A and B are shown apart, each in its own frame.
Chain A
Amino acid sequence: MKLPEWMNTPDSYVPPGGSLFAVKTIRSLGRIMSDLRVQRGHEKARAVPALIKIPLLLAVIITVSAVQSRLVLLAFGAVLLGYLCIWPARDILSVVRPSAAAGLLAAVLLLPALIAGSTGPANSALFVAKVVLCVMSVSIFNHTTQWYHITAALRKLHVPGVFVFALDITLRYIVLLGRLICDLLTSLSLRSVGKARGRYGSVGGVMGVTFVRGAELNRETYEAMRCRGFTDDYSGL
Chain B
Amino acid sequence: MHIPENYLSPATCAVMGAAMIPVWVHAVKKVKEELPSEKIAMVGVGAAFSFLGMMFNVPLVGGTTGHAVGGTLIALLFGPNAACIAVSIALLLQAVLFGDGGVLAFGANCFNMAFVIPYVGYAVYKLVIRASGGEAKAKMGRRILGAAVGSYIGLNAAALCAAIEFGIQPLVAHDASGAALYCPYGLEVAIPAMMIPHLAVAGIVEAVFTVAIYTFVRRTSPDLTYLPGAAADANDLTGKADDVPKKSRIPVFALVAVLIAATPLGLLATGTAWGEWGADEIAEVVTDGSALGYTPAGLENGWELNAPMPDYSLEGMGEVTAYILSAVIGTALLVIIFKLFSLALTGKKRRAI
Please give the residue numbers on chain A whose beta carbons come within 8 Å of chain B beta carbons, in ascending order.
Answer: 17-19, 21, 24-25, 28-29, 32, 35-36, 57-58, 61-62, 64-66, 68-72, 74-75, 77-78, 81-82, 84-85, 88-90, 92-93, 96, 98, 102, 105-106, 110, 113, 116-124, 126-127, 130-131, 134-135, 138-139, 141-142, 150, 160, 162-163, 165-174, 176-178, 181, 195, 199-201, 203-205, 207-212, 214-215, 217-219, 221-222, 225, 232, 234
Contact = CB atoms under 8 A, between A and B. Distances in A.
A54 to B, nearest CB: 10
Contact of A208 (B43, B216, B328, B343): B216
B180 A119 contact: yes
A169 B307 CA distance: 46
**Size category, B interface:** 35 or more
- Report, nearest first, the 8 A-B pairs whose CB atoms are least far apart: A169-B44, A208-B216, A204-B212, A117-B291, A173-B48, A122-B302, A81-B332, A18-B63
A163 B85 CA distance: 8
B44 A85 contact: no
Contact of B103 (A24, A61, A203, A234): A61
B134 interface: no
A106 B184 CA distance: 11
Contacts of B329: 74, 77-78, 81
A129 B102 CA distance: 15
A189 to B, nearest CB: 12
A69 B185 CA distance: 22
B297 interface: yes
B238 interface: no
Contacts of A62: 10, 104
Contact of A69 (B53, B90, B208, B307): B307
A199 B59 CA distance: 7
10 contacts: A28-B55, A36-B97, A68-B306, A117-B294, A123-B175, A123-B180, A127-B182, A165-B40, A166-B89, A169-B44
Contacts of A131: 4-6
A171 to B, nearest CB: 7
Nearest to B56: A25
Given A77-B325, A89-B342, A204 B180 contact: no
Nearest to B287: A117
A19 B63 contact: yes
A203 B52 contact: no
Nearest to A211: B217
A70 B303 contact: yes
A58 B59 CA distance: 38
Given A57-B103, A170-B93, A82 B40 contact: no
Contacts of B99: 98, 102, 135, 138-139
B208 A122 contact: no
B314 interface: yes
Given A65-B5, A138-B96, A199-B59, A118 B170 contact: yes
A172 B332 CA distance: 37
Contact of A120 (B208, B288, B294, B333): B294
A162 B85 CA distance: 10
B49 A214 contact: yes
A52 B92 CA distance: 19
B98 interface: yes
Interface stretch (B31-39, B117-125, B194-202, B257-265): B31-39
Given A78-B325, A135-B5, A170-B51, A195 B217 contact: no
Nearest to A32: B55
Given A68-B306, A78-B328, A166 B44 contact: yes
